[in-house]
Amino acid sequence: MAKENIQSVSQWLDKTLAKGILGFATERLHAELPAYSDTAIKRVLSRLSAKGKIVSLYKGYYLIIPPQYTAKGILPTHLYLDAFMKHLKRGYYVSLLNAAAFHGASHQQPQEYFVMTGFPVLRPTVKKGLKINYISIKEIPETLIQKQKTEAGYLNIASAVLTACDLVQFEKRVGGINRVATVLSELSEVIKPEDFKPELMHHTHVTALQRLGYLLEHVCMENELANALFKAMEKGKHNFFRIPLKASKISKGFTSENRWKVIVNTEIEIDE
Q: How far apart are CA 255 and CA 232, in angstroms?
A: 25
Instruction: Give the Cα separation of 13 and 4 in Å (integer).
Output: 14
Q: How many residues appear in the chain?
A: 272
- Omega before 66 within 30 of 0, i.e. cis: no
Nearest Cα neighbor of 151 from 54, 96, 97, 77 is 77
Tell me, what's the pLDDT at 106? 75
The predicted pLDDT at position 133 comes to 97
* CA angle in degrees (0–180, nearest 5) for 205-208-209: 90
Q: What is the phi-psi region of residue 152: left when phi exceeds 0, alpha when psi lies from -120 to 50, beta otherwise?
A: alpha
Tell how strand 243-244 and strand 262-263 pair up: parallel
User: Can you say whether residue 153 is alpha, beta or left, with left for phi > 0 and alpha for psi between -120 and 50 degrees?
Assistant: left
Q: Which residues lie closer than 8 Å to 145 by C-beta, 6 or more apart?
A: 93, 156, 157, 158, 159, 162
Q: Which residues of the chain have pLDDT under 70?
A: 1-6, 107-109, 272
C-alpha 24: how far from its chain's center? 22
So what's the pLDDT on residue 145?
98
Angle (CA) 125-129-134 rounded to 5° is: 25
**Contacts (Cβ under 8 Å, ≥6 apart) of 68:** none
The closest alpha carbon to 99, from 135, 138, 152, belongs to: 135
Beta strands in 180-261 (DSSP E): 243-244
| Integer-rounded Cα radius of gyration of the chain | 23
The sign one gets for the Cα dihedral 209, 214, 216, 219 is negative
How far is residue 218's CA from residue 266's CA, in Å, rounded to a whole number? 13
Q: Are 213 and 225 in contact (CB under 8 A)?
A: no
Q: Which CATH class is domain 2-69?
A: mainly alpha
| Predicted local distance difference test score (pLDDT) of residue 107 | 66
Ranges in the chain annotated CATH 1.10.10: 2-69
**Number of neighbouring beta carbons within 10 Å of residue 191:** 24
State whether residue 25 is helix, strand or coil: strand
